[in-house]
Amino acid sequence: MVRVDVFCRVLALLFLFTGATSLAGSCPAQDSAPALEDPKPPTVRAPASERPTASPQPGLETRQAPRPLAIGAVTEDWPWFLGPRRDAISSEQPIEKDWAESGPRLVWRWKTGEGYASPSVRGDRLVFFHRVGDEEILECLDAETGQRFWRHAYRCEYEDDFGFSAGPKCSPLLEEDLGWTLGIQGVLTAFHLPSGTILWQRRLLEEFSIPKGFFGVGTHPLLWGNELIISLGVPEGPSVVGFDKRTGRLLWGAGKSFQSSYATPVPTRIGERDKIVVFGGGKLRPPRGGLMVIDRERHTVDVEFPWRSRTYYSVNASTPIVRGASVFLSESYGLGGIRLDLNESATEVKEAWRNERFDLHWHTPLMLGDHLYGFAGQGERSSELVCVEWISGKERWREAIAWEETIQGSSGPRPRDLGVYRGSLLHVDGATLCLGEWGDLLWLELSPKGVKVLARTKLFDADQSWSLPILSRGLLYICQNTPARLTREPPRLYCYDLRSAGEKR
């Protein structure tokens, strides 16, 4: 175990002058974040009494109505990133797994703007967050028909320094009649779901003097009780803040070592106390980032563990996996994955294992039983699906899921090698849906013994399909984030019917 002693000060010096991030030690935070007054508490508006009805909207193409839900069907909302339990696992059943050659039944598709945010669903409402031109836009749709209840837009001037999408990365958060979004420029918005009223709004980067990150703002807020918890990364601290979800007022701040990464904070309970697990990072020289465990009530950083590549152009983006008092972290710029074990008070940490080849870029792995399944590798062609034991970190298998298909080129048909590459995984009803980087959808059977492809279809031929598919009430929603390669068809949001064709309600 590592305690507060001279080693902590030595580690801090190494961290400052070398950028070292692979030291197998940790220090509880010695300096709390500086006292921080709320620079600009927002004005809260009352929701409108009017409840708009859904109506047709531009760019919507309706194909067929979804099937009725089966008798005894288990369904649930998908209210935020990674789903209701924040693990990319759905409890819905039964789910249709037998596709026709053309793939699952398309219910509707809708022309969208740019961005990487998956939609969120509560009840019959789907909220989608994207960018069109110089505006970030919130749109509330009927989840079954795609028709629009309401729309709200505000100006966005962000330009991506690396040529990627300049749209939002964070999915909406939905709870009862409230919702929240966090935009690419740090615009935090609270809205009334039934009416579309904007209740309050904050421009966090401006208010807290936070410089532009590598790819804009991309860490999802954590909604926990009355708080919106955000890995904000204010220079010199606080690293993490809590806002009142109803008023938008700053409640607390914690930490100052790490700035904001692209990973999402995770709620957990260790021993007798609630903890917030944060994987920090930021645009810093030398690069710094790693694990922070924050006591939810005391707002103290109880332990830190550095885990960030020495490479300046690197990010921490894969959301931590927490099981009991153990935390798994991963990045794809040299260090790879590591499992850390905390003591009962979460004030001490020790390394259980590390696996440099389980290097997840932005993908959050699936935890099924005692094994992790995730796409390792930084680049498109170097990415492989890997299974790792939770207990030991031992790799059970890795496979690049690839195939050859014939496409129609300008000079006639020609073969093309394709694969899943940096895909996304959604586990439901005993199998795993996989969305490939180029718009291919697969059913997979995952086990410690290997992977079996049960079905595969191409939904669209467009790259950067990096948004996690979501599932609610038997309907699957998938984002096409870029124009199609050959036809140049625009980005779209697709709704597919996965409701079982069994006995109906």
Determine the pLDDT at residue 411: 76
Mean pLDDT of 342-351: 94
Q: How many helices (H) and strands (E) does the chain have?
A: 2, 36
Determine the pLDDT at residue 33: 55
User: Binning pLDDT at 50, 70 and 90, where does residue 504 land?
Assistant: low
Determine the pLDDT at residue 32: 54
Mean pLDDT of 441-451: 98
Of the listed ranges 277-281, 372-376, 482-486, the one predicted with least confidence: 482-486
- Say yes or no to pLDDT of 214 above 90: yes
What is the pTM (predicted TM-score) of this model?
Answer: 0.92
Determine the pLDDT at residue 452: 97
pLDDT in tens, 62-102: 999 999 999 999 999 999 999 999 999 999 999 999 988 78
Cα 285 to Cα 162, 259, 308, 313: the distances in Å are 18, 12, 12, 10
DSSP letter for 49, please: S
Question: Three-class SS of residue 58?
Answer: coil
Selected residue with higher pLDDT from 236 and 60? 60
Contact 160, 168 (CB under 8 A): no
251 burial type by CB count under 10 A (0-12 exposed, 13-18 middle, 19+ buried): middle
Other Cβ atoms within 10 Å of 391 Cβ, number: 12
Determine the pLDDT at residue 26: 52
Distance in angstroms (rounded) separating the CA atoms of residues 453 and 473 = 25
- Say yes or no to pLDDT of 287 above 60: yes
Distance in angstroms (rounded) separating the CA atoms of residues 267 and 297 = 12
Question: Three-class SS of residue 8?
Answer: helix
Mean pLDDT of 473-498: 96
The tokens for 464 are: 């950067």
pLDDT in tens, 388-426: 999 999 999 999 999 988 877 677 788 888 999 999 999
DSSP letter for 74, please: B
Residue position matching structure tokens 């999915």? 171
User: Binning pLDDT at 50, 70 and 90, where does residue 502 land?
Assistant: low
Residue position matching structure tokens 């890795």? 398
Mean pLDDT of 292-317: 96
Distance in angstroms (rounded) separating the CA atoms of residues 284 and 304 = 17
Among residues 189, 58, 42, 78, the alpha carbon closest in space to that of 129 is found at 189
pLDDT in tens, 176-212: 999 999 999 999 999 999 999 999 999 999 999 999 9
Distance in angstroms (rounded) separating the CA atoms of residues 10 and 13 = 5
Radius of gyration, CA atoms only, the chain:
22
What mean pLDDT is reported for the chain?
91
Mean pLDDT of 24-34: 49
User: Binning pLDDT at 50, 70 and 90, where does residue 379 land?
Assistant: confident
Determine the pLDDT at residue 227: 98
- Say yes or no to pLDDT of 503 above 70: no
Contact 147, 55 (CB under 8 A): yes
Contact 177, 125 (CB under 8 A): no
Cα three-residue angle 71-74-80, rounded to 5 degrees: 145
